[in-house]
Structure 1
Amino acid sequence: MILRNRKQQSRERDLSQEPLRPETPFFAVGDVHGCDRLLDRLLNRLDKMRHPEALLVMVGDYVDRGEETSRVLRRIRVLSEGAGDLMHCIMGNHEKMLLDTLDDPVANGPRWLRHGGLQTLASYRVPPVLGQRPEAEWLEMRDRLAEALGDATIAWLRGLPLTWQTGNVVVVHAGADPALPIADQERGNFLWGHPDFRRTPRADGLWVVHGHTITEAPKVDQGRIPTDTGAYATGVLSAALVEEEGVTYVSA
């Protein structure tokens, strides 16, 4: 089963990789995709685990596909702004598509709507543009969405980093080119992944925590720590507790 409660947690360690050496333990929460009720349940479960030293890291893709994007963004932004260095949020490709639509709705809006933007618009009660419509209608949709999001949320989204690192563990949204140092990666690798990421292990001893790719039963594999269990499709949202002792998966 995908669901793992506190009695079913799985602690894993990849013995072929350099030992995990995060400077601080942390929970990495997988792709939320507009599933606020699942996020609430998972955060409550993590809180009950009573691990006061563990930070909270969100791997991106907070928006689209699920029906509660507006609530998810409000919750995560308020939590992150109040938590300071105890919580870190990175950008996913769906946040990038939303921002690209705000910047140029005519060029980028159709693609975003095909990949989950319709649900985000619905959560903000903004009517979508469907089919081949005049530019003015796309601009009106953009303006209504920007007003519904608000300047503070848009600024927060634009300020999201692409990576977060502690010790020899880096968190990205989709992946990275295993042949290049993290500092030398193209931005698109972090947002959309790299063709070699899942088939070639890194040679620098760096562990990579990621979301983006749905996995039914997340498992540590050659230094990769997946977190996305497809919340919007499966009804299961997962997190990975990463610490020197290994990786523990927890789901709600």
Structure 2
Amino acid sequence: MHPPEHEELTFAIGDIHGCFEKLTSLLAACDQICGLRSARFVLVGDYIDRGPQSREVMDFLVGGHGKQDRPFVCLRGNHEEMLLRAADMERTDRDLMNWWGNGGEQTLDSYGIDDPADLPREHLDWIRALPLMKMEHGRIFVHAGLRPDVPLASQSEETCSGSGNPSCRRIMTTGFSLSMAIRRSGPGHLTCEPTG
């Protein structure tokens, strides 16, 4: 059974990690599922690092290329946090090595540069402006997790983005990997399942 045609769908997508072709394939699959219904897309962070096309992903998101047909809400994840620390002129060697060790080298390669401080200012400013949390229609979206014992207004940046103590992560998971398949799980509901 399909959701009513007037019902707006929401797709939450996380951990794009520089995989532009996979992102565009996933968006096309979401468009097919939508049919004539409208849809919103909540991208919950980690747009960069690890994959070979971080610049293409960032150009797409910062340039608003997807916004004509797909309203995007973009949130900040831990890889964006690591990049901002590595690109800061007050960075430490640890900040730089931590980012490099988590896929930052692939991001530098995709931009054709050697120093994260040389990334396009427009991209760094866009990342800085990203919110950590989005609340709408009784749902809460973050990159990493929420602490159920802490009021929403008091949630820490480290908990929401996943950039803090690993023991605080994934208390309430909200993102879906690109390696997931979308399946119907009941009237008006879609689930994502691992593809392998």
TM-score range, shorter chain: 0.7 to 0.9
- In structure 1, distance between residues paired with 2:186 and 2:153: 23
Give the number of equivalent residue pairs. 184
Distance 2:25 2:70 in 1: 23
The two structures have a TM-score, normalised by structure 2, of 0.79
Shift of 1:180: 1.4
2:75 corresponds in structure 1 to 90
* 2:4 alignment partner in structure 1: none
- C-alpha distance in 2 between matches for 1:241 and 1:76: 28
**Distance of 2:82 and 2:150 partners within structure 1:** 25
1:90·1:161 contact (CA, 8 Å) conserved in 2?
yes
Pair 86,243 (structure 1): closer, same or farther in 2 beyond 3 Å: farther
SS in 1 for 2:145: coil
Paired residues of 1:90 and 1:162 also in contact (CA < 8 A): yes
Aligned CA distance change for structure 1 residues 69 and 239 (closer, same or farther; 3 Å): farther
Match of 1:248 in 2: 191
2:172 maps to 1:185: no
Please name the residue that 1:72 is paired with: 57
Q: 1:34 matched to which residue of 2?
A: 18
- SS of the equivalent of 1:210 reads coil
> Cα–Cα, structure 1 residues 66 and 198, in superposed 2: closer, same or farther, change >3 Å?
closer
Confirm or deny: 8 A CA contact 1:25 1:244 kept in the other structure.
Answer: no
Say which structure, 1 or 2, has more relative contact order (CA 8 Å, 6+ apart): 1
5+ residue gaps, structure 2:
1-6
- Cα distance in 2 for residues equivalent to 1:70 and 1:45: 22
TM alignment of 1:122-201, pairs within 5 A = 122-127=109-114, 141-143=115-117, 145-146=118-119, 150-192=120-162, 195=167, 198=170
- CA deviations on 1:182-220 (whole Å, 9 max, x unpaired) are 211111001117636656xxxxxxxx5523xxxxxxxxx
Paired letter, 1:30: G
